[in-house]
Amino acid sequence: MTYRMGVDIGGTFTDFALIDDTTGELTIHKQLTTPADPSEAVLDGVATLLKRRAVAPAQLGAVIHGSTLVTNAIIERKGAVTGMLVTKGFRDVLDIAMERRYDLYDLTIRFPTPIVARRRRRQIDERLDFSGAVLQPLDAGEVERAAAELVEQEGVRALAICFLHSFVNAGHEEQAREIVARRYPELYVSTSADVFPYAREYERWNTTAMNAFVQPVADRYLGNLEGGLQRLGVKGPLYIMTSSGGTVTTATAKRYPVRMLESGPAAGVLMSAHHGRTLGLSNILSYDMGGTTAKGAIVRGGQPHKTYEIEVARIHHFKEGSGLPAKVPVLDMIEIGSGGGSIAELDDRGVIRVGPQSAGADPGPACYGRGGKRPTLTDADLLLGYLDPDFFLGGKMKLDRAAAETALELGLAKALGVDVTRAAWGIHEVINEDVARAFRVHASEKGFDYRGCSMIAFGGSGPMHALRIARKLRIPRVVLPTGAGVMSAFGMLVSPLSFQIARSNRVGYAELPRERFAELFAGLTREAAAFLLRAGVPQPEIRVTRRLDMRYRGQGYEIEVELPDELDLSAAFERLPQLFGESYARIFSLSYLQEPLEIVNWKVEVQGPTPAMSQHFHLALEHQVGAPEKGRRQAYFPEAGGYVATPVYDRYALRPEVTIGGPALIEENESTCVVGVGDQVTVDAAGNLVTEIAQEQVREAAA
């Protein structure tokens, strides 16, 4: 037998999923994250799960891991002291940024501090023109002197090399890298032409600075993790989930740690798309709520939408432009600072605000009994009766109801002049509305009508809120997959090895020879495929997807055009005007077929085989399954008049075709599904809970 394990580190819990590739049996595990050293929780959880299933470490064929390590290091500024070499005259690019105010009317507007302080940037008197031709040669002595100042006077441990027009000609950056490496072989060096060879200096240089900043942290963490797994006796490789929904080797992750941004949440979206395909649902709103944040993503036509930009460390969580942009391949997600550990308080207007501050894993919500005093969403859900204090994590962790009540009374209810129940419902409903509002904006920006789609909800907190959020959005159907509480860990198990390369090369379509078109794509494909070949993927099993960013000549923005797989490059070249016109019309309702076209960016994505994961995988149950109804408990449903004696069901005891009407609570070890008044839940053949939202409630929510 061979096994694979997915591991997802969240802000509060670390999730594990172990699959037997022979039988399709899945075993899941969840434990508190160790913020001081996340690898402790990972290694402890791997050992615990293997021991529980009596699996020898040598039988573990692979560990696939996703983490928020890189994101947290940037947000908390816990990376290495980083220096920067820039083209003379461009020292202040990181400060000038986009020269754009994200809020025109905020007189106290603030922007994030650049990753590299100005005093640690050194100017190099070199210059290329826009075509890559050398105007001013690189002076090796000047590079060496600048690097010596940064290392010996500023104490830098990482260096970003960012020269003008290097995306066309990387020669000067590579020369500088070699010069620095000879003098300081232990220094971590990132070049912008390697990390992200795109035009537009600020985004390219900022992404490179981020990569350098977190390289030592990622290298140390991944090295510790590899060493720890080897000491456990694990023989299989460690793969790392990237933000694009693919996996890479640790060597690639150490070289490009910036690609690990949002790696855990991406796995959840990938699994949503997998469920959608197996259930015959092509259009999906993927909704994930854990202990710290909620994430949403659109899956259209069975595939999640990908983009090449993400923003990190925003000053204002919901204001685009208030953070640091990173140009990396990423599944297009919206993040809301709402999770089980989100802290509730009154804002300046005396109105309840929940998040983005979180109690995290240490000390955690007040009900965890670990020293937390401030009220959180989990405390509210416990008081509303949605959580069983004796069955949290399947009974492995007891919750302190009295501590939750005290936190809400002193932290919120008293100031509002309401009882604790009213305050708890206020917290619960504020979260629901925050998530629904964020989804409305995101879907509108993408031209996606979610009223005809299905929601797939997961995460430790997601099933408690999904159905009510769906009512607000007028989504008719919600699917809660098997093992919803750890679904991002499942997503690791369906992620293929992959790598993406994007390179700027602006050229007019009319001036581009057909042979040059094929030549450029062939070079990018060889470069990208090399990463998979080094990982052991046979050449015939590598799939290639080609995309172009195109625009009408004179426009300041471009749209992405994917070349159909069934067309060879010659046929695709001939059809480019038609393909662009169709893509343009989908967004803007019309196109101008006679206008000259430009290609701006060239993109290649290569993928290895998708790991086999049975559509009907099944969970390994470690307790005796009894009657479906476990009993009743008082839970709060305003449509029913307040607290009502609500039936509580054991999800593991529910058989296919069983239908449950709300109000009801369906419990599993990692999460609880709250079924509203009038909602109907049916268990399908794979054990998924498929919920039809009560239409009268949907109409009332819309009104």
Residue 350: which pLDDT band, with cuts at 50, 70 and 90? confident
pLDDT in tens, 250-290: 999 999 999 998 777 788 888 888 888 888 888 899 998 88
96, burial (CB in 10 Å: exposed 0-12, middle 13-18, buried 19+) = exposed
Range 418-448 burial, b when 16+ CB lie within 10 A, else e: eebbebbbbbbbbbbebbbebbeebbeeeeb
| Residues 587 and 511 placed together within one structural domain of the fold | yes
Location of structure tokens 């963490």: 221
* pLDDT, tens only, 522-542: 999 999 999 999 988 999 999
369: left (phi over 0), alpha (psi -120 to 50) or beta: left
For the chain, what is the total number of helices (H) and then of strands (E)? 18, 36
Q: Which two tokens stand for residue 31?
A: 């434990």
Residues 488, 502: one domain? no
Cα dihedral 375, 377, 380, 386 in deg (nearest 10): -150
Give the DSSP H or E segment for 92: none
Whether 439 and 568 share a structural domain: no
- Output the domain CATH number for residue 82: 3.40.50
Confidence of residue 124 (pLDDT cuts 50, 70, 90): very high
List C-alpha distances in Å: 380 to 311, 407, 426.
31, 10, 9
| DSSP strand pairing (543-552 vs 559-562) | antiparallel
* Torsion from C-alpha of 453, 458, 464, 469, nearest 10 degrees: -30
Within this chain, do residues 308 and 446 fall inside the same structural domain, yes or no? Answer: yes
**Helix 462-473 crosses helix 695-702 at what angle (to 10 degrees)?**
70
Mean of pLDDT values over 217-235: 92
Q: What percent of the chain shows pLDDT beyond 70?
A: 96
Consecutive H or E run containing 308:
none
Residues composing the chain: 703
CA distances from 616 to 24, 274, 481 (A): 8, 12, 11
Predicted pLDDT at 696: 56
Give a yes or no: residue 419 inside a domain.
no
Residue 567: CATH number of its domain: 3.30.1490
pLDDT digits (tens, 9 = 90+) for 359-397: 876 788 999 988 888 999 999 999 999 999 998 887 888
pLDDT band at 166 (very low <50, low <70, confident <90, very high): very high
Kindly state the helix (H) or strand (E) to which residue 512 belongs, with its residue range. Answer: none
| Statement to judge: residues 106 and 140 lie in one domain | yes
Answer yes or no: do 576 and 628 share one domain.
Answer: no
* 8 A C-beta contact, residue 260 and residue 244: no
Identify whether 61 is part of a domain: no
Mean pLDDT of 59-86: 88
Instruction: Kindly state whether residues 460 and 512 are assigned to the same domain.
Output: no
634 three-state secondary structure: strand
Q: Which residues of 489-516 are buried (b: 16+ CB within 10 A; e: fewer)?
A: bbbbbbbbbbbbbbbbbeeebeebeeee
Q: Is the CB of residue 261 less than 8 Å from the CB of residue 310?
A: yes
DSSP 3-state percent helix, strand, coil across the chain (nearest 5): 35, 25, 35
Identify whether residues 601 and 622 lie together within a single domain.
Answer: no
Q: Is there a domain that residue 168 lies in?
A: yes
Residue 96 lies in a domain: yes
Tens digit of each residue's pLDDT (9 = 90 or more) over 581-632 = 888 888 787 777 778 999 999 999 999 988 876 555 666 665 556 678 889 9
SS3 (DSSP) at 490: helix
- Output the CA–CA distances (angstroms, integers) from residue 622 to 6, 27, 214, 393, 652, in the order listed: 19, 9, 40, 13, 10
Residue 95 within a domain = yes
Crossing angle of helices 140-152/171-183, nearest 10°? 50
Q: Same domain for 82 and 131?
A: yes
What would the mean pLDDT of 556-573 be, rounded to a whole number? 88
Which letter does DSSP use for residue 137 in this model?
-
User: Domain range for residue 554?
Assistant: 498-607
Domain finish residue from 555, 580, 607: 607
Boundary-marking domain end, from 454, 474, 492: 492
Give the pTM: 0.84
How confident is the model over 311-324, as pLDDT tens digits? 887 777 667 788 88
Provide the mean pLDDT of the chain: 88
CATH number reported for the structural domain that contains residue 474 in this entry: 3.30.420.40
Q: Please, which pLDDT band fits residue 561 given cuts at 50, 70 and 90? A: very high
Whether residue 344 contacts residue 377, with contact meaning beta carbons closer than 8 Å, is answered with yes
Domain assignment present for residue 242? The answer is: no
- Per-residue pLDDT at 12 exceeds 80: no
Count how many domains the chain has: 4
Q: From 635, 142, 87, select the one nearest 385 (Cα to Cα).
A: 635
The residue with tokens 């509210």 is: 380
Residue 586: count of CB within 10 angstroms of its CB: 11
* Residue 583 included in any domain: yes
Core vs surface per residue 277-306: b (16+ CB within 10 A) or e: eebebebbbbbbbbbbbbbbbbbbeeebbb
Question: Is pLDDT of 484 > 90?
Answer: no
- Tell me the one-letter amino acid at 220: R
Q: Are residues 511 and 647 in the same domain?
A: no
- Are 111 and 191 part of one and the same domain? yes
- pLDDT digit string, tens, across residues 395-417: 888 999 999 999 999 988 899 99
Same domain, yes or no: 214 and 131: yes
From start to end of 515-609, where are the E strands?
Answer: 543-552, 559-562, 597-607
Residue 695 confidence (pLDDT)? 63
pLDDT tens digit string along 451-476? 888 999 988 888 999 999 999 999 99
Residue 262 lies in a domain: no
- Find out whether 189 and 307 touch, Cβ atoms under 8 Å: no
Helix, strand or coil, per DSSP, at residue 89: coil
Dihedral angle sign, alpha carbons of residues 112, 306, 256, 274: positive
- Among 546, 578, 607, give the residue marking a domain's end: 607
- Of 537, 558, 654, which is closest to residue 601 (Cα–Cα)? 558
Does residue 226 surpass a pLDDT of 80? yes
